[in-house]
Amino acid sequence: MLAYLKPKTLFGRMLAIILIPLILVQVITVVVFYGRHWDNITRYMAANLAADIAVVVDQVPTSPSPEMLRQADYFARSYFIFTTTWQAGGIIQSNSAQVTSTYAGRQLNLALTDKLDWPFRMDLDSDPDLITIFVQYPEGVLQIEAGRKRIFSSTSWLFILWTMSTTIVMALIAIMFLRGQIRPIRRLAKAARQIGLGRPAINYRLEGATEVRQAGQAFQAMYNRIQRQISERTEMLAGVSHDLRTPLTRMKLALAMIADDHARVELEKDIAEMENMINGYLNYASGTISEDVEITNIIDHIQNAITRDIGNNPAIHFTIPDQPLPDIPLRQMAFRRAISNLINNAITHAGQCYISITHQDGLITILVDDDGEGIPKEMRRAAVKPFSRNLAGTSSTGVGLGLSIAKEFATTHGGELLLGDAPSGGLRVRLQLPV
């Protein structure tokens, strides 16, 4: 249960570390310190007020004369700032609601019960500035009015308000500082995600605390090291490509001079197969790294792959989605190469190829289905590895890099390549790309 309630973000956890002790300290202060302080002060004020009222009541005998009442009123006004009124023949009523509903009212009731010998009634509700005590005499009721501040302290709510306001102010200050500390971490995480999706982290700069700057420096060093390795790999592959194609070109020129047509045709086939193999190796080795990322329209590039790379084969069926798809940053040539490989695999190993696209939950999913024999489930993991051929037990051409190139493209763009069963019984290739 506690793990479920624990904040998931770093900002939430740091804020909880600061606010929970702060709130606990404030609650303990209010409950323990202020509770005892308020209890003692209230009982002290109630006892003093009851004692003053008892002194005034003692000034009025059982059967007071008008002169005695005037003297008692003068005494109460002079020494206690009370006002008294005599109600001849009056009968007291029951206590008001605040006598039992408030702590101060209950303490005053107990103190008066201890001090007075006559029945009495308290009214704490009628006047916002006064409390009224009615004392029952045999011949009437003595009414005593005292200031409300004699029993109700106004500082209690000020103390609670001050405690709450300081907590809120400190919480706002903590949030302001925490946001400043969390922002560099979020930017570092965003930059790392961009790199993971195969996109450049353009606007990232070092900022924040020392530890965050150290992590950012390590990240930049790692990124620069990867880019340097990629550049060296690209330059090496360009040299290899040139070195391999040069002798093949010489072999083609030599073949043109052979008089035996049958031998020349067979050798040309071997050279063409070697060229295809070399191109496959280079495409897989170069992958998608030496190309810049550009904003790409998925539908347009699939259509270009069908028309330009494959040649409008009637066996290819492309279903364009009804809803427009968002443009996403991709390496466009690598994307066309991956799509062309998937379509060529479907046409080569089956009769028909069906392409569809969906967009849901921040993912664009490209489905390439065929009506062939498919790939058994236990062989699908090996099928996406380089140089995997003839997994379904049928004759195979090529070098076994079609699915590997598509999988590497998906991985370098933060996506995934999955194999499954097509509705028509063949193989379904699911290429997922994050938006």
Q: For 320-350, write each residue's pLDDT tens digit.
A: 888 888 988 888 888 888 888 888 888 888 8
Phi first, then psi, for residue 323 (nearest 5°) are -90, 140
Tell me the average pLDDT of the chain: 82
pLDDT for res 150: 86
- Indicate the number of domains in the chain: 3
Q: Are residues 149 and 280 in the same domain?
A: no
Residue with tokens 């790692």: 222
Same domain flag for 364 and 278? no
Gap between the Cα atoms of 414 and 435, Å rounded: 10
Asked if residue 392 is part of any domain, the answer here is yes
Mean pLDDT of 79-99: 84
Between 73 and 259, the higher pLDDT residue: 73
**Once rounded to an integer, what is the mean pLDDT over residues 60-67?**
90
Residue 415 contacts residue 433 (beta carbons within 8 Å):
yes
Burial of 381 (0-12, 13-18, 19+ CB in 10 A): exposed
- State whether 27 and 132 are in the same domain: yes
Residue 401, number of CB atoms within 10 A of its CB: 22
The residue among 156 and 81 whose pLDDT is bigger is 81
- pLDDT, position 234: 66
3-class DSSP assignment, residue 317: strand
More confident residue, 413 or 3: 413
pLDDT band at 429 (very low <50, low <70, confident <90, very high): very high
Q: Are residues 306 and 389 located together in one domain of the fold?
A: yes
pLDDT beyond 90 at 167? no
Is 143 within the bounds of a domain? yes
Secondary structure letter of residue 201 according to DSSP: -
Average pLDDT over residues 75-96: 87
What pLDDT band is residue 288 in, cutting at 50, 70 and 90?
A: very low
Per-residue pLDDT reduced to its tens digit, 146-161: 988 888 766 667 777 8
Give the residue from 153, 171, 206 where a domain finishes: 153
Q: Sign of torsion, CA 338 339 341 346?
A: positive
With respect to residue 202, please indicate whether it lies within any of the assigned structural domains.
no
More confident residue, 429 or 413: 429
Q: Specify the CATH number for the domain of residue 266.
A: 1.10.287.130
- The answer to whether 155 and 104 are in contact (CB under 8 A) is no
**Tokens coding 281:** 């190796």
Answer yes or no: do 280 and 319 share one domain. no
pLDDT of residue 96: 67
**Domain boundary residue among 138, 153, 168?**
153
Residue with tokens 């019984």: 425
Residues 109 and 7 in one domain: yes
State the distance between the two ends of the chain, measured CA to CA, in whole angstroms.
35
Higher local confidence (pLDDT), 273 or 204: 204
Distance (Å, whole) CA 257 – CA 262:
13
Q: Does residue 365 share a domain with residue 403?
A: yes
Q: Is 88 part of any domain?
A: yes
Question: Exposed, middle or buried: residue 278 (CB in 10 Å: 0-12, 13-18, 19+)?
Answer: middle
More confident site: 389 or 417: 417
Q: Per the domain annotation, does 193 fall within a domain? A: no
Q: Are residues 415 and 300 in the same domain?
A: yes
pLDDT above 90 (res 143) = yes
Is residue 173 a part of any domain in this protein?
no
pLDDT of residue 27: 81
**Enclosing domain of residue 107:** 2-153
What is the CB neighbour count within 10 angstroms for residue 78? 9
Task: State phi, psi for 138 to the nearest 5 degrees.
Answer: -60, -35
Cβ atoms of 377 and 397 within 8 Å: the answer is: no
Mean pLDDT of 160-187: 85
